[in-house]
Amino acid sequence: MRLALLVPAPFTTVSGGYAYDRRIVAGLREAGHNVAVIELAGRHPLPDALARQAADAALDGIDADTRVIIDGLGLPSFEALADSLAARGASVLVHHPTAIETGRGDAEREELRRIERAMLPRCRRLIATSAPTAHQLADDFAVAADKIAIVVPGTEDAPRSRGSLDGTCRILSVGTLIPRKGHDVLLRALARLTDLDWHLTIAGSAERDTAHAATLLALADELGLARRVRFAGEAADAELEQLWRSADMFASATYWEGYGMAIAEAIKRGLPVAVTAGGAATDLIVPDIGVTAPPGEPDILSKAMRRLIFDTDLRREMAEAARGVGATLPDWRGQSARFAEALM
């Protein structure tokens, strides 16, 4: 197939959604498909004039024999081109609807919801990265169920995390510093556990929402956690690998995940997990490998994490179980093949 993926620039952005896009593109190319990646300039998902111009130019430059796939983050910039997208049989890759992103005002979220409700049902195929996202598209955005395909992320083989060597429970959280990821909830949960020996590292870019990132730094200081919490930023591959290897457990207090690729990687590496049940975040979690709590409830999350931090034997048992579950997760080659099938 000849395919064109239209995605907000830059394609190298470090996030779960962009990582999914890059791995799927690589898998499709490896399988012999001709895939062009077209990066869209401007502001997304609430488009500015530059974003709309980029969308128009991108669509105009794609020949009629090429199948169009739009990353959902960039879909609102094509609002004026909805008829053209429908006529071309365009598909949309939906990590999660942009209208549900936390940290936006009500007016912005309603505007995005209006656009997505108008555009998503008119697309030929929607590829969702999890079952909860697929259900939401059908229930809240009026998309016919037979238009939706589910292609969850794959995983790579990864070495088992060895854990800390100093007796401190080293907790790793991976995610961009944006409100939806709930890092503030995680900090408040851990602030109730200062009688235990733990250290938290948060690996994630602060550039997408610098104001929110600043509030997290201030919150850690306010809670008296500055010496127990490290903000590692957008860790390079080698540094992130070292963080994974030295971790004793993984934590995420997300309000919503289309899938939760960092959670899957933690399980693959044999890490016990503590996760809030936002979207598909807990789809992979069984009692043997971790603990869960409702989103936005630091008290409950704190209570769930206490025994996991304190009890090294429990962590060891859960780590063994997580490694077993991780071995059953799909790989990227297989998921790329499913992605191609979904476009047929």
Q: Are strands 169-174 and 249-252 parallel, antiparallel or unpaired?
A: parallel
Residues of the chain with CATH 3.40.50.2000: 2-154+331-343, 169-326
What count of other Cβ atoms lies within 10 Å of the Cβ of residue 142?
A: 11
User: Tokens for 132?
Assistant: 């909860």
Angle between helices 183-190 and 298-310 (to 10 degrees): 60
Task: Give me the average pLDDT of each 10-residue run along the chain (344 residues).
Answer: 97 89 97 98 96 97 96 97 96 92 84 96 96 93 96 92 93 94 97 98 93 97 97 89 96 90 94 91 88 96 96 95 94 96 93
User: Domain 2-154+331-343: what homologous superfamily?
Assistant: Glycogen Phosphorylase B; (3.40.50.2000)
Q: Do 10 and 75 touch, CB atoms closer than 8 A?
A: no
Residue 60 neighbours by CB under 8 Å, 6+ apart:
none
Taking the whole predicted model, whether its pTM rises above 0.75 is answered as yes
Answer whether CATH 3.40.50.2000 is correct for domain 169-326: yes
Measured over the CA atoms of residue 215, residue 216, residue 221 and residue 222, the dihedral's sign is positive
Q: Which one, of 70, 74, 68, lies nearest residue 51 by Cα?
A: 74
Phi/psi at 227 (nearest 5 deg)? -85, -10
Calculate the alpha carbon distances from 51 to 19, 71, 112, 209 in Å: 22, 14, 15, 19
* pLDDT attached to residue 191: 98
Q: Which one, of 252, 247, 177, lies nearest residue 219 by Cα?
A: 177
Q: Do 338 and 151 touch, CB atoms closer than 8 A?
A: yes
User: Tokens for 185?
Assistant: 């909830």
Calculate the alpha carbon distances from 103 to 117, 152, 206, 211, 255 in Å: 20, 25, 14, 11, 11
For 223, how many CA atoms within 13 A lie in the half-sphere containing its CB? 22
Between CA 12 and CA 85 the distance in angstroms is 25
